[in-house]
Amino acid sequence: MNQIVRTSAIEYARLRKRAILVSLHPGTVQTGLTGPYLDRHESVTAQRAAENLTHVLEGLSPEDTGLFFDWAGQAVPW
């Protein structure tokens, strides 16, 4: 996934200089899939996860393209 995002970001920037393509990690979201892990990890509702990721996206600039961010807006090393 990291190679797809990084390569796509480079290629897309040739056409749209201000485009921002990133990967986002929503954290542990309360779903049926994560149910067995919720007692071991902090979790958020799907609504809250979407709000967190929207906030992260609003704070990005074209210099961030090709990177990976967590739900709090912190860069995650590939």
Distant-in-sequence contacts of 68-74, Cβ < 8 A, 24+ apart: 68/2, 68/5, 68/22, 68/23, 68/24, 68/25, 69/22, 69/23, 69/24, 69/25, 70/24, 70/25, 70/27, 71/24, 71/25, 71/26, 71/27, 71/44
Examine the pLDDT at 46 and tell me if it is beyond 90: yes
With cut-offs at 50, 70 and 90, classify the pLDDT of residue 41. confident
Decide which of 34 and 60 is more confident: 60
pLDDT of the residue at 38: 85
